Amino acid sequence: MALLRLAHANGIRVAQCRGFATISSSSPPPRAGTVGPYQVFDRNVKRIQKDQAATRDGGARSTTVDYIREEVADRMMERFLDIKRKFNTVVDLGSGPGHFSKLLESNKANKSMMIEASEKTLHRDPDSEFEVDVERIHAEEEDLLQVIEPNSQEAIVSCLSLHWVNDLPGVLVQVKEALKPDGLFLGAMFGGETLFELRTALQLAEVEREGGISPHISPMTDTRDISNLMGRAGFTLLTVDTEEVKVAYPSMWELLEDLSDMGEGNAVIGRFVAHRPHKRSETQL
């Protein structure tokens, strides 16, 4: 799985260069003739998927498939520890149950403010697993400035959640506006050729057996897109790089089961084609 990891140390505060997200999952549909961010994902479906994953078998199955997020959180923490300062509060945006926040030590931060759209995921793990104080906030990533004051935070991190937001430019603008001057933004998201083998296999099978394809894998952001979006949002001193995390599975079925237990199932709008509502078994095989 390809990972885009981005880091930023906010320098001189610059003027806002675009509006905040104009629509979120809680907003009414845009009126005809108005302009809003293109809706790729059904955020309500994604919340339901994550809620179900967090409570399946009492949360045991969700905990079992934490291996990807734990690995990425470890790599993010290596970067975080390179910053020789202590933060009063770290905002963990799209925190899940707190994969990054669990790694925070008292000599680096006093408190973690965890923001997560799935309430059941947010409260999956008990406070005893954290070394710093935690505050849990049930809110959408796209509504960051509704729960965080502008120019109020020293550090914001995001571990594998931004690939599900519809208005990524708007979220980055809100992150920038929420940071104090010289604040830190450190994030990681799936991107590039993530799940390339699964995407290719499904598309080839559908074309051969059914004469067309429907979306099964989310569109992914590449490094150049992230650099451009962060620059447009007003970030300075950018560092954007990619890393690969390779995981082998016996077959497609084990991979799909793990994705479901991670809450990473398909949430693309239009993922079902009306005249082909169910994939034929011969296509799946």
Segment 258-285 mean pLDDT: 69
Measured between alpha carbons, how far apart are the two ends of the chain, in Å? 23
Q: Are 222 and 192 in contact (CB under 8 A)?
A: yes
Phi then psi for residue 59, to 5 deg, are 90, -5
Percent of the chain with pLDDT over 70: 78
What is the rounded CA–CA span in Å between residue 93 and residue 162? 9
Strand partners, 109: 87
Decide which of 11 and 96 is more confident.
Answer: 96
Rounded to whole angstroms, the Cα distance separating 81 from 27 reads 38
Are 92 and 98 a contacting pair, CB within 8 Å? Answer: yes
Beta bridge partners of 136: 114
Alpha-carbon distances, residue 278 vs 50, 106, 174, 205 (angstroms):
22, 51, 39, 14
Most confident of the ranges 1-10, 146-155, 188-197: 146-155
pLDDT in tens, 42-69: 999 999 999 999 999 999 999 999 999 9
* Residues contacting residue 153 through CB under 8 Å, at least 6 positions apart: 89, 91, 178, 179, 180, 183
Which pLDDT belongs to residue 19?
41
The average pLDDT across 139-168 equals 95
Question: For the whole model, what pTM was predicted?
Answer: 0.80
Q: Where are the extended beta strands (E) located within the chain?
A: 2-9, 87-93, 109-116, 133-138, 153-159, 179-190, 238-244
Cα–Cα distance for residue pair 26/142, rounded to 1 Å? 10
**Residue-wise pLDDT tens digits, 122-151:** 999 988 889 999 999 999 999 999 999 999
Residue 34's pLDDT band (cuts 50, 70, 90):
very low
